[in-house]
């Protein structure tokens, strides 16, 4: 029998149903992560996260990677902008 449990997301504290016994239908399986993205998330969290937080963290990681690339290309002309004007 499949094992399902109610969990709270480590990042946002939202309750969700973890379906580790039937991972193919678990809410986390709706978010595709690269090996690099998964490693980045695993460095910060050691338990399940809700699908929404996985998507947010995936986007944050992609943005940070993009910023690092820009910094390499632009060198001294690179200016960080964190949404502040």
Please, what is the angle between helix 35-44 and helix 51-74, to 10°? 110
* CA 41 remoteness from chain centre: 5
pLDDT digits (tens, 9 = 90+) for 11-64: 999 999 988 888 888 898 999 999 999 999 999 999 989 999 999 999 999 999
Residues 6 or more apart in contact with residue 3 via CB below 8 angstroms: 19, 20, 21
pTM for this entry: 0.78
Distance CA 14, CA 46 (A): 16
């Amino acid at each position: 029998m499949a094992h399902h449990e109610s969990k709270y997301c480590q990042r946002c504290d939202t309750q969700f149903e973890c379906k580790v016994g039937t991972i193919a239908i678990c809410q986390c399986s709706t978010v595709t992560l690269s090996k690099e993205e998964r490693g980045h998330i695993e460095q910060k969290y050691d338990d399940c996260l809700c699908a929404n937080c996985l998507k947010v963290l995936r986007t944050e990681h992609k943005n940070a990677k993009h910023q690092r690339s820009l910094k390499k290309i632009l060198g001294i002309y690179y200016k960080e902008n964190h949404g502040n004007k």
